Structure 1
Amino acid sequence: MTDNLNELRIDAARRGQWNIGFFAAGAVFWTAATVVGVTVELSQARILWIVGTFFILPIAVVFSRLFGADPFTKGNALGELVGYTHMSVIAMMLPIVVGCAIIFPEALLLVMAIAYCLDFYVMGWAFGSALFGIHAALRVSSVSLLWFAMPEWRMSVLPAWVAALYIATVVTIPILRRR
């Protein structure tokens, strides 16, 4: 079993490159969310943020191709687990995200920042790296602190920080994969 798990991890890492294209797409989304947060009224920004999430997948596929990564690692059970887990988190959180956008839009970026990294722990196990759990833990704790302690930074610094975390992850992935 252990040999098979290691073989699956190596295959997923080789073909999917630890989902680097999806992390690059996350950086693009959160950079755009920052621009929207500082330039657009909240009543419109909340709509743009939700609509923007639907562009993450196609952007991830483009980045995956640029990085030479297989974005779906079809036929690899761990790659499929990561994909199903991520899509499940997004699908199950959609009612909360939409409800938040309608009822409490000031919290939308906080909810999205936390919800959309819940599956990173599964990713970390599947790829055999603590990077993703560290990203998620740092992200949840830091955006929570920013949101509660510095409300004036909710629409600017919070999404910029999440973008920075994604960029740091994209830079770190190739370094860790070489080990």
Structure 2
Amino acid sequence: MPAPPREPGWKPNPSGLLAILLVVGVVVGVWFVSGGDPGTPTGSGSPPGFASTADDVDGGPDGGAASVPQSGEVDPETGLTWVSLDELPPEALATVELIADGGPFPEDEDGGTFYNREGILPDRQDGYYTEYTVPTPGSSDRGARRVVAGEPDELFWTADHYDSFERIIS
């Protein structure tokens, strides 16, 4: 079917095209953030380190055998001690919330690759871990405190610039 004739002087509406592109961008962004990475199965949409449902914490809808780690216990997977967020400085909680929200982050280095050169965290391929600054009040630089994130459900705390780590209960 031929296109209807256009009036003389008709021009495409660039704002309409921009609106369509914006809507498509938002839909793709929401899809990606919610776990729609085409290279992986669709996930729960929860950011690393955060359970999305009670089933993720209690082991399943039947109240399965999975146990919630307790502060001070040793994580058998990493050999690191578990620590709860409420035991960390308030700036650490703020950083974890920024990670969950996807930023914006205060430091340019935040979200960069953590290479695990110290070998304290489980050995993973480069790019697996990312690091985030935890501000130190009164410090004139980034300070020594960081949260390192892996996937899935892995958050680590260091107060001494990677000399030691604890695994954060999330």
Does TM-score exceed 0.5, indicating one fold?
A: no
- RCO greater where, 1 or 2, for CA within 8 Å and sep 6 or more? 1
Query: Comparing both structures, which one devotes a greater share of its residues to helix?
Result: 1
TM-score by length of 1: 0.24
Query: Comparing both structures, which one devotes a greater share of its residues to strand?
Result: 2
